[in-house]
Amino acid sequence: MSSFEELHTELTDKEKQLFSRTVNLLLARTYLVYERQEDRRHYRFVEKHLGLFRHYLEIARWSIHLVKQYGVIQCYNMDERNRRNFTLQETIFLFILRLLYDEKRRDLRLTQQVLVTGQEIQEKYLALQIKNRLPAREVMQRILKMFSSFSLLDLKRSHWREPDAVYVLYPSLLLVLSTGDLESLADWLKERTDTVETGIDAVDNSYATETETDAIDDINYEEDDDNSR
């Protein structure tokens, strides 16, 4: 098996520059998605030189996986560092996007994009009955932009905060929340709904779900501080 030095030496100067950019991009985003235009060049480069990336990242205790079924490359820390803690609002939106992805995908061919509107996201949010009203548009915009930075979605038309905005959802959502995570999270959110309906004023930050990410490796559900916005 070739070493990192041997594999790296075989690259051209241009490829070495691309290697450096791709490593930094992967560590920042957690995912590279073939379907995403701005990720595609880096995805193909990692796919071609997967052994090189594995050798390099393993030195720093990082692992990289190519999930060809979804067209997604995933990177995470073996020691479970660099975790991203989500607030309750962020968790709800992630749950909604995962549900919408599954619903939309059933009616599409494999080559078609999964598209949702801001209106559909808002309607699903209200249907969960976790909170009595929608969050401010600025909050929704901030959360969706944050998910975009992890290659989970992109804005396709209109503006981030508008109900008529159209978003493309990526299969990386299937990795950040597995089917088991989705079911556990659904049960936890239902418990919160039941608590609200009975008038109990309770705060529960204890629920956590193991996910297949690094920058967003564990989801710890924290209460939002509405007064901080």
Per residue in 14-25, pLDDT (tens digit) is 999 999 999 999
On the question of pLDDT at 166 being above 80, the answer is yes
- What value does the mean pLDDT take over residues 104-125? 88
Q: How many residues are listed for the chain in this entry?
A: 229
Q: What is the pLDDT of residues 76-91, one digit of tens each?
A: 898 887 777 888 889 8
First-last CA distance in the chain: 53
Q: Cα(101)–Cα(170) distance, rounded to whole angstroms? A: 8
Residue 51: CB partners within 8 Å, gap ≥ 6? 1, 2, 7
Task: Say yes or no to pLDDT of 33 above 70.
Answer: yes
**What's the burial of 175, exposed, middle or buried (CB within 10 Å: 0-12/13-18/19+)?**
buried
Torsion-angle region of residue 158: left (phi > 0), alpha (psi -120 to 50) or beta?
Answer: left
